[in-house]
Amino acid sequence: MPNFVMSYLGSTVTPGEAGNQFWALMYVLIIFAGVSTAVICMNWLERKALAHFQVRLGPMRVGPHGLLQPIADALKLMLKEDIIPAQADQFVFWVAPLIGLLAAFTVYTVIPFGPSQAVSDMNIGILFMLGVSSLGVLGIVVAGWASNSHYPLIGALRSSAQMVSYEVAMGLAVVSAILMTSLNASGTGTLSMIGIVQAQQQQGIWFIFKFFPLGFIALVIFAIAMVAEVNRAPFDMAEAESELTAGFHTEYSGLRWSLFMLAEYAAMIAVSSIAVTLWLGGWMRPFPNLLHAPAWDFIFSLFPGLTFAGLAAIAFIGTARMPSDSFFKIQRIGLGVFAALLGFIALLLLVIAVAGRSADASVAARFNQGIGYVYWFVLKVAVFMYLFIWYRATWPRYRFDQLMRVGWKVLLPISLGVLILTAAVGVIVR
Amino acid sequence: MSSPTNDHKNEVPKRSLSNLDLETPDKTYLDSNELIINMGPQHPATHGVLRVILKLDGERVLGTECVIGYLHRGVEKIAENRTYTMFNPYVDRMDYCAAVSNGLGYCEAVEKLLNVEAPPRAQYIRVILTELNRIASHQLWLGTHALDIGAMTPLFYTFRDREEVLKIFERYCGARLTTHAFRIGGCQYETYSGFEKDVTTFLTFFAPKIDEYEALLTTNRIWLERTKNVGVISAADCIALGVTGPLLRASGVKWDLRKAQPYAAYSKFDFEIPTGENGDTYDRYIVRMMEMRQAMRIIEQAVNGIPEGPIMGKVPKVIKPPVGEIYHSIEAPKGELGYFIVSDGSTQPYRLRVRPPSFVNLQALDLMVRGLLVADVIAVIGTLDIVLGEVDR
């Protein structure tokens, strides 16, 4: 049994490819739990960051600095009465949030957190990902239709039109990145997510800087289209709080509503992951080719531990700065324990980094590498997630016709131009 | 044998609304191009309990019907059963975002009826507080208008800064919103020590804040697209409908009661009337932003030139105006706020009629949104700057 469990750690391919069913299942569970946790963290982070953009504090009551707020919200939503409107199509109403959730979570099977840190390495990974993630719109359309109510119906119609139009520009941007993968000696490109990152590794450049500014423009187009794709401000037509009350989920409440939220945030992370994989070098740490001495490897492997140490320090400072009133005693203890927990994780990561510094195939070294891959990947995704919050705090909402105009008349021609130019430059360079 | 209840049911007249053909049976709406939507009275962007029935073709608005009265409290009828002094606090509850202006209009109308005048110092205090209230009202408008268009953050900035105005009100008369700041014949309270300092501090604090709002919105591409050429209304239409205030000025008419028929101490101050050209939502936004700056100018002059003296004119203990009628109007933040009072010589008004700017301006909604999209209806309701307390009274 230990051999069976350990077998994967020595392998250099994904568990799906190695036929290791046990580890594939483990990965599915880890990703499910990880994404759910990330959504919870994101929920707290968005409320806090948005609050600080808007000169207020955000949640402060449930736990120290509102750290337990998402858990309290989740509990509340689960305990709420389950309402299905009398006029709604019961079955479709019931199934709609599940479609959205399923689509959002299925794409994670091909997201590479590292060269072997994925459930499976599909050779059509990027196509699979775009295809499945756009199925999410079905959940929204069906939800709007099944509610049998005006506002959800308008929200659903807006959403479907919006997603269809932005997917075109998005797809063309993706194609220009895929073209770049074929610029190797054998001239073979790849659609595999892992292959795309490896191509960037071999060519020694992130695709964002490739044929500058072509790669950069493609990323910008993708980054705009992906905001529209997941219905976030300033393209949140489908929800459009001030126009359509809540858009497609007006009639939803409680657990079903929370499933929509879960799907939305999961989709946000998923599209950010595509952007990171295609243009920002996926799991690669900065300058893997320039600074490739073992000493540099060691320095970069300290980053995860140091990040957690920094978080622990912030939490400790927060604990120290809390009012000394006895009313805050429990909160102080809570934040202190949280800080200690972060510190412990930091210590653990640093120990692994030191233990696994040799480049041999020992378990510690493999572990160390894996942590590095996941860390850099998550960090890059986190940047995009922060951008989502930033957009929401800064910009007004587009009107529907303007949204379509931007999609068809601005993004589409630019992405077509970028695609053609990329192909031309690629041919000339080869 | 038919039951009496059924007969009764048949007698209920079918409700028909004037300009919308609402007869289309609900069941066929999926087959037809037209969709009838109830926006409000419970809606996040109708600024209270306004109900707008929208007739849509897809997203395009074919017509609207405003249904008002959800906040009707019978203020005008109440006035007939209260003495002139007792009615004074009620006017604060009409436009609760600009209670000081409401009070000013009412007090001046009764003063006109009594033929007394408030002493100069009271006039100056009135101007300072009224202009501060104009700023507060415009801040509230800006925050909610931007929120309707989807920009969340300005709301919190404006509310943060509005707090400073409300603090001055609170220190002056103990209330923040329904201030009841003025009395017939002058002011109840002398300014507190440090009032002038507070006001000047606010002016220096607030000048960069307007720039902050403008930095977020004025040149923002999305804001421009959402407001330019949206809800256009011509000067002629404005005049025909009786639309006043920033809406009228944004259409290019230089009409401000503070200049046209000066009241209080306004004739002593130097300020400009900002006007727009196109009469669209963006112009109205710019006009209101400039008005805030002009209000600051007026406050500055008033604080610097505030005279000494009494704050209460010679008003009898029991206010019994002579028989007659009076119409007096002031430039409230939202437009012309008028009071028409008929006196029968007793201590209570025989009839009191309020000409609320929000109510009159709301009439323009249908004209402004026809042919636009659903999202524009929200933008236009925001730009009208209505307060339902004033519309319904």
pLDDT at A2: 58
pLDDT at A145: 86
B153 interfacial to chain A (CB closer than 8 Å)? yes
Q: Which amino acid is at B168?
A: I
Is the pTM here over 0.90, yes or no? no
pLDDT at B339: 92
Whether B150 sits inside 8 A of A53 (CB atoms) is: no
Give the Cβ contact number of residue A383 at 10 Å: 12
Bridge partner residues of B342 (DSSP): B325, B351
Residues of A with CB below 8 A from B223's CB? 396
Query: Hey, where are the domains in chain A?
Result: 2-284+361-429, 305-355
Helix segments in A280-411, DSSP class H: 294-301, 303-321, 329-355, 363-394, 400-405
What distances in angstroms separate CA B53 from CA A37, A118, B40, B232, one per listed residue?
Answer: 43, 53, 8, 20
State the ipTM, two decimals.
0.82
DSSP codes, B164-216: HHHHHHHHHHS-SSS---EETTEESSPPPTTHHHHHHHHHHHHHHHHHHHHHH
Q: In this predicted model, what pLDDT tens digit does every residue of A94-106 receive, in sequence order? A: 888 888 888 888 8
Is the pLDDT at B321 greater than 60? The verdict is yes
Split at pLDDT 50, 70, 90, the class of B138 is very high
Q: In this predicted model, what pLDDT tens digit does every residue of A72-98 receive, in sequence order? A: 988 888 898 888 888 888 888 888 888
Whether A245 sits inside 8 A of B44 (CB atoms) is: yes
Both structure tokens of B239: 């005049």
Whether B150 sits inside 8 A of A393 (CB atoms) is: no
Q: Which amino acid is at B173?
A: C
What distances in angstroms separate CA A129 from CA A16, A19, A74, A191, A272, one per listed residue?
Answer: 16, 21, 28, 10, 12
Chain A residue whose CA is closest to B152 = A393
Split at pLDDT 50, 70, 90, the class of A326 is confident
Test the B interface: residue of A158, A399, A400, A402 with most B CBs within 10 Å: A399
Is the pLDDT at B202 greater than 80? The verdict is yes
State the DSSP code for B51.
E
Q: Which domains does chain B have, with CATH numbers?
A: 119-313+363-392 (1.10.645.10)
Split at pLDDT 50, 70, 90, the class of B12 is very low
Is the pLDDT at B9 greater than 70? The verdict is no
Tell me what the mean pLDDT of segment A371-380 comes to.
Answer: 88
Bridge partner residues of B51 (DSSP): B67
Split at pLDDT 50, 70, 90, the class of B15 is very low
Tell me what the mean pLDDT of segment A347-373 comes to.
Answer: 77
Contact A31, A120 (CB under 8 A): no
Burial profile A247-258: b = 16 or more Cβ within 10 angstroms, e = fewer:
bbbbbbeeebbb
Least CB-CB distance to A234: which of B146, B150, B373? B150
Is the pLDDT at B25 greater than 50? The verdict is no
Q: What is the mean pLDDT of chain A?
A: 84
Contact B238, B251 (CB under 8 A): yes
Is the pLDDT at A166 greater than 50? The verdict is yes
Q: Which of A63-67, A317-321, B156-160, B246-250 has the lowest mean pLDDT?
A: A63-67
Residues of A with CB below 8 A from B37's CB? 150-151, 154
Q: What percent of chain B has pLDDT over 70?
A: 92
Split at pLDDT 50, 70, 90, the class of B4 is very low
Residues of A with CB below 8 A from B152's CB? 50, 54, 392-393
B378 interfacial to chain A (CB closer than 8 Å)? yes
Is the pLDDT at B3 greater than 50? The verdict is no
What distances in angstroms separate CA B213 from CA A398, B90, B144, one per listed residue?
Answer: 19, 33, 13
Tell me what the mean pLDDT of segment A277-306 comes to.
Answer: 81
Min Cα distance B145 → chain A (Å) is 10
Test the A interface: residue of B33, B51, B374, B383 with most A CBs within 10 Å: B374
Q: Specify which of A293-297, A379-383, B55-59 reaches the highest per-range mean pLDDT.
A: A379-383
Chain A residue whose CA is closest to B57 = A154
pLDDT at A6: 63
How big is the A-B interface in CB pairs under 8 Å? 84
Chain B residue whose CA is closest to A405 = B225
Whether B373 sits inside 8 A of A150 (CB atoms) is: no
Is the pLDDT at A236 greater than 50? The verdict is yes
pLDDT at A359: 61
Classify A298 as helix, strand or coil: helix
Rounded distance, CA B235 to CA B276, Å?
Answer: 10
Bridge partner residues of B340 (DSSP): B327, B353
Q: What percent of chain B has pLDDT over 90?
A: 22
pLDDT at A383: 92
Test the A interface: residue of B222, B228, B285, B383 with most A CBs within 10 Å: B222
State the DSSP code for A396.
P
Q: How far is CA A258 from the centre of its chain?
A: 18
Is the pLDDT at A9 greater than 70? The verdict is no
Min Cα distance A88 → chain B (Å) is 14
- Beta-strand pair B324-332/B335-343: antiparallel
Rounded distance, CA B231 to CA B367, Å?
Answer: 8
Classify B332 as helix, strand or coil: strand
pLDDT at B231: 86
Query: If contacts are CB pairs under 8 Å, which of residues 120-149 in chain B contact chain A?
Result: 146-149
Least CB-CB distance to A393: which of B35, B153, B160? B153
Q: Which residue has the tokens 């604060």?
A: B92
A38-43, long-range: CB < 8 A, 24+ apart:
A38/A265, A38/A269, A39/A261, A39/A262, A39/A265, A39/A266, A39/A269, A40/A70, A40/A71, A40/A74, A41/A70, A42/A265, A42/A268, A42/A269, A42/A385, A43/A69, A43/A70, A43/A73, A43/A261, A43/A265
Whether B35 sits inside 8 A of A150 (CB atoms) is: yes
Split at pLDDT 50, 70, 90, the class of B2 is very low
Q: In this predicted model, what pLDDT tens digit does every residue of B335-388 receive, in sequence order? A: 899 999 999 888 889 999 999 999 999 888 888 888 888 888 888 988 988 888
Rounded distance, CA B18 to CA B193, Å?
Answer: 57
B352 interfacial to chain A (CB closer than 8 Å)? no
Split at pLDDT 50, 70, 90, the class of A60 is confident
Split at pLDDT 50, 70, 90, the class of A254 is confident
Tell me what the mean pLDDT of segment B275-283 comes to.
Answer: 89
pLDDT at A3: 62
Residues of A with CB below 8 A from B373's CB? 399-401
Tell me what the mean pLDDT of segment B117-133 comes to.
Answer: 90
Tell me what the mean pLDDT of segment B164-182 comes to.
Answer: 89
Q: In this predicted model, what pLDDT tens digit does every residue of A107-154 receive, in sequence order? A: 888 888 888 777 778 888 888 888 888 888 888 888 888 888 888 888
Is the pLDDT at B211 greater than 60? The verdict is yes
Is the pLDDT at B287 greater than 60? The verdict is yes
pLDDT at A4: 59
Q: What is the mean pLDDT of chain B?
A: 85
pLDDT at B31: 54
Whether B216 sits inside 8 A of A394 (CB atoms) is: yes
Min Cα distance A134 → chain B (Å) is 24
Q: Which amino acid is at A385?
A: M
Q: How far is CA A256 from the centre of its chain?
A: 22
